[in-house]
Chain A
Amino acid sequence: MGFDEARHLLSRTSFGMTPAEIRAYETLDYTVAVDRLLSAPSREAATPAPGWIGMGPAEVRRAQQTAEAERRDKPDGRKAEVVRPVQEQGRELKIWWIEEMLGTEQPLIERMVWFWHGHFTSSLQKVRYPAALYRQNALFRREALGNYATLLKEVARDPAMLIYLDGMRSVARQPNENFGRELLELFTLGEGNYSEADIKAAARAFTGWSVNRETGQFVERGPQHDDGEKTFLGKTGRFGGEDILKILLAHPRTAETIVEKLWHEFVSLKPDAAEIKRLAADFRKSGYEIKPLLRALLLSASFRDPANRGSLIKSPVELIVGTVHVLGLPVPEKTGIVRMLQGLGQVPFDPPNVKGWAGGEAWISTYTLLLRQQFLRRMVEATTVAPMEGGMAMSARPNRRADRRQQLPGDDSTMQMMEPPRPVEGRSLRNAGNEARLGPTLTGVDSATLVRTLLPRQPVDGLDANGTPGAVVASALLDTAYQLK
């Protein structure tokens, strides 16, 4: 298929790609390459799970209360430095997923886990029980390329979701509408395809689906369930949650919602209504099999159209994790990456709201574009200046390679909102990062190939192709076209 098409395919299905990775695909037949990407054999993460995933919510809450009490009790009125389990587990969970993204051999699976995380959102901020989010993430990985109907049914019983959208508190006497509303608006039909009465009916049908407070597992509480008659989307019966999902899965809008979102994520910002309807019909007919749908998307003429290359904007995760991968930067400490993602607006397990991340052009505002450039400049410097000075404070916790040098610089982004504003510094960043020192991923590659690897199209700002390879890499990373995929 050639270098440029291989690059395009990988840029849409992985987190950054090195010249060697592109070359491994360029000689393949295109269909063979797509099937290889989709074959992803493992449905589990390779990174070992954090140690606390067996803790029940009640246990976490008790430990949290103890920590909060100790924190308050310092005599001088200042808050004592106490590790609070909810915050600490949340931090470890984010780092766990970043390790998986950096180390995975199946990046497409991780891209799909992100897709489902952004679709069926749940947030640490509200759930406050990280083990449930770990299990939800495992579910997304298991069904990443599996079956959407299965995924929807599992999500409706997923403890993190039941906590996030208040399903666990929804009882016959007073149904809570939060989950019912988002199920219709965001997860399946989309706005404008149902009435307020449908939301109320759905909320009643799901009453009694809850979470065991000791084990953190799904539980059905019969006495809390409203088994009365309901009218939902024109059908009447003594519906339970399963019946509602069945009706939604029979509705053509459900498949269209998913295909529209996948199109936006993988193909283009311009939806092709006819093509989406066709793919959605096939998707529904297949019983919601995800792999054939994604295969059809990747093989579509729209996806392969050379004019489509570089027409999507990289998400923060693609930008940061991808750059680390391409530069081959060692990352002994992942907190720096979490901070960058926070600044750019895409923290794992912490979507901005139940709608997830808007993506597309919304990734780029005057604020985030400046921050993206600043982080890229830092990463260029991080390879140039071998041992970075300063960096982030290392904690003395075990299993942390505190003796290793911080390679990824800490950021002083404006998102660390609680810090006082910094004084103006005279130094200009204009001349920072003129040249990248190349690691093994890029060493020995000629300048033309470096540019074709890093940029999906002609550079916007014009590169000096006669510069050293390090200078070419630095200016390609800082070129506006590098924001595109």
Chain B
Amino acid sequence: MARILLLVELKGGNDGLNTLVPYADPKYRELRPGIGVAREKVIQLDENVALNGKLEPLMESWKAGDLAILQGVGYPYPNRSHFRSIEIWDTASASNQTLSEGWIAQAFSGAKLAKGVGVDCIVADTNALPSTGPALRTIVMQDAENFLRQANAVKPAAMGDGGNPALRHLLAVRQEINAAAAGLRDRLREAPAPAHEYGQEFLLGRQLDLATRIIASKAPVVAIKVALGGFDTHANQAQTHERLLAFLADSLATLRRNLIAADLWKDVVVMTYSEFGRRAKQNASGGTDHGTAAPQFVMGGGVKGGLHGAQPSLGDLQDGDLRHAVDFRNVFATVAQGCWGQQCDFGLRQVQKLGFLA
């Protein structure tokens, strides 16, 4: 059966070590004397790791067994440029390889999709790379009603004269708008409002509201993408990072309650990701520089909760950075199979499926 992937991008490089905290490791305190999360402020998950206390709203899902935490996810020869590293993730490429097609689009390459509505992926933030590619029709939309109202006023694209690449791009976008609006209009208007309201402190709240409506509309999309920005915490990180984590956890908990209330939780897989984690050692500015591996959260009614992968050792750093335990392409391969029944190796010689999705 098909599930919708709800992708949550944490923009800027989320600090994995202050998200999933190796609280029992004395090296953690040594490396992070100023910004380490205090022992009394974490929620222990086992004898090694704990959640940052600001993630408390996720505990409902953890206890219900539908929150999987994938530890130490990264890739070999890590790139520490924001732009290059997010591109590596979004296109499921190797570190030294440049691909232009997003990983979700790759997963559907050659696959037949139901053409029920004129759109396959809806991006509520601004980065549409994961679903960019010829196999999928992606719409960037930040508010359903405005989208439909504005799309009403767009004339159907006059085809024929393609002109130059810039004009061709404009005409193609116009075509997408017309097709998507035609497919979504009635479904979205009939979809119920979410039972519980989302916080509005960051745009993520509004984006999740839209995502909930789309899921409730039963539009046959394969993926929806949202994002929370601000994770590039080079200086004075603690306050910013805690605020972001608290909002993230609260929003995802609200999403879970909404989808359970609508009996749709089993049809959705929520997955967070970020371009990289951060350096193990704090810097002199009370922050952290660009790093490597980090944990991912995966939630959903069909998700097998618990800890997966392995927490990278603080005693075995490479140039001051964590060594990854799980290649993210294995995570993507697991999702492609578990959500859409698509077999993909994303260029890996041997895919190692993880156990978080049946």
Contact surface of A with B, Cβ cutoff 8 Å = 166, 169-171, 173-174, 176-178, 181, 185, 191, 196, 269-270, 307, 310-313, 345, 352-355, 360-361, 364-371, 373-374, 377, 413-415, 417-418, 421-425, 428-430, 432, 457-458, 460-462, 480-481, 483-484
14 interchain pairs (CB within 8 A)?
A166-B285, A169-B234, A174-B283, A176-B285, A176-B287, A311-B165, A352-B126, A366-B139, A370-B150, A374-B153, A424-B145, A424-B189, A429-B149, A429-B153
Determine the chain A residues whose CB is within 8 A of the CB of B206 once the complex forms: 417, 421
- A472 to B: closest C-beta gap in Å: 17
Please pick, from A174, A421, A480, the residue contacting B174 in the complex, using a CB distance under 8 A.
A480
Are A417 and B145 in touch, CB under 8 angstroms?
Answer: no
The 6 closest A-B pairs by CB, nearest first: A174-B284, A429-B153, A169-B285, A370-B150, A414-B143, A365-B140
Query: In the assembly, what is the distance between CA of A370 and CA of B167, in Å?
Result: 16
Please pick, from A191, A352, A368, A413, the residue contacting B81 in the complex, using a CB distance under 8 A.
A191
Determine the chain A residues whose CB is within 8 A of the CB of B82 once the complex forms: 353-355
Determine the chain B residues whose CB is within 8 A of the CB of A352 once the complex forms: 126
With A311-B164, A361-B166, A483-B170 given, is the CB distance from A176 to B152 under 8 Å? no
- B142 CB within 8 Å of chain A: yes
Determine the chain B residues whose CB is within 8 A of the CB of A307 once the complex forms: 164
Determine the chain B residues whose CB is within 8 A of the CB of A432 once the complex forms: 153
Determine the chain B residues whose CB is within 8 A of the CB of A425 once the complex forms: 149
Are A176 and B173 in touch, CB under 8 angstroms?
Answer: no
Query: In the assembly, what is the distance between CA of A481 and CA of B164, in Å?
Result: 11
Return the chain A residue nearest B203 by Cβ: A417
Determine the chain B residues whose CB is within 8 A of the CB of A458 once the complex forms: 161
Query: In the assembly, what is the distance between CA of A171 and CA of B283, in Å?
Result: 10
Please pick, from A181, A269, A424, A457, the residue contacting B290 in the complex, using a CB distance under 8 A.
A181
Determine the chain A residues whose CB is within 8 A of the CB of B289 once the complex forms: 176-178
Return the chain B residue nearest A165 by Cβ: B234
Return the chain A residue nearest B137 by Cβ: A366
The number of chain B residues with a CB under 8 A from chain A is 54
Are A461 and B158 in touch, CB under 8 angstroms?
Answer: yes
Are B290 and A373 in touch, CB under 8 angstroms?
Answer: no
Determine the chain B residues whose CB is within 8 A of the CB of A377 once the complex forms: 153
Return the chain A residue nearest B160 by Cβ: A460
With A178-B289, A422-B146 given, is the CB distance from A460 to B173 under 8 Å? no
- B169 CB within 8 Å of chain A: yes
Are A366 and B164 in touch, CB under 8 angstroms?
Answer: no
Determine the chain A residues whose CB is within 8 A of the CB of B147 once the complex forms: 366-367, 370, 414
Query: In the assembly, what is the distance between CA of A185 and CA of B83, in Å?
Result: 10
Are A428 and B154 in touch, CB under 8 angstroms?
Answer: no
Q: A191-B84, A269-B165, A421-B144 provided; 8 other pairs, C-beta below 8 A?
A: A269-B166, A310-B164, A311-B167, A365-B173, A373-B154, A462-B158, A480-B171, A484-B166
Query: In the assembly, what is the distance between CA of A369 and CA of B180, in Å?
Result: 14
Are B143 and A421 in touch, CB under 8 angstroms?
Answer: yes
Return the chain A residue nearest B201 by Cβ: A418
With A171-B284, A367-B140, A417-B206 given, is the CB distance from A373 to B150 under 8 Å? yes
Are A369 and B164 in touch, CB under 8 angstroms?
Answer: no
Determine the chain A residues whose CB is within 8 A of the CB of B149 once the complex forms: 424-425, 429
- A61 to B: closest C-beta gap in Å: 13
Give the contacts of B261-290 with A (CB-CB under 8 A): 283-285, 287, 289-290
Determine the chain B residues whose CB is within 8 A of the CB of A181 once the complex forms: 80-81, 290
Are A373 and B140 in touch, CB under 8 angstroms?
Answer: no
- B88 to A: closest C-beta gap in Å: 12
Are A196 and B177 in touch, CB under 8 angstroms?
Answer: no
Determine the chain A residues whose CB is within 8 A of the CB of B174 once the complex forms: 369, 480
Please pick, from A196, A370, A374, A415, the residue contacting B319 in the complex, using a CB distance under 8 A.
A196
- B143 to A: closest C-beta gap in Å: 4
Return the chain A residue nearest B189 by Cβ: A424
- B199 to A: closest C-beta gap in Å: 11
Query: In the assembly, what is the distance between CA of A123 and CA of B155, in Å?
Result: 37
A170, A173, A424, A430: residue with the most chain B Cβ atoms closer than 10 Å: A424
Are A310 and B83 in touch, CB under 8 angstroms?
Answer: no
Return the chain A residue nearest B163 by Cβ: A457
Return the chain B residue nearest A352 by Cβ: B126
Determine the chain B residues whose CB is within 8 A of the CB of A417 once the complex forms: 142, 200, 203, 206
- B235 CB within 8 Å of chain A: yes
Determine the chain B residues whose CB is within 8 A of the CB of A174 once the complex forms: 283-284
Return the chain A residue nearest B119 by Cβ: A366
- B263 to A: closest C-beta gap in Å: 24
Query: In the assembly, what is the distance between CA of A298 and CA of B284, in Å?
Result: 47
Determine the chain A residues whose CB is within 8 A of the CB of B145 once the complex forms: 421-424
Please pick, from A353, A365, A460, A484, the residue contacting B158 in the complex, using a CB distance under 8 A.
A460
Are A424 and B176 in touch, CB under 8 angstroms?
Answer: no
Are A428 and B285 in touch, CB under 8 angstroms?
Answer: no
Return the chain B residue nearest A309 by Cβ: B164
- B238 to A: closest C-beta gap in Å: 15
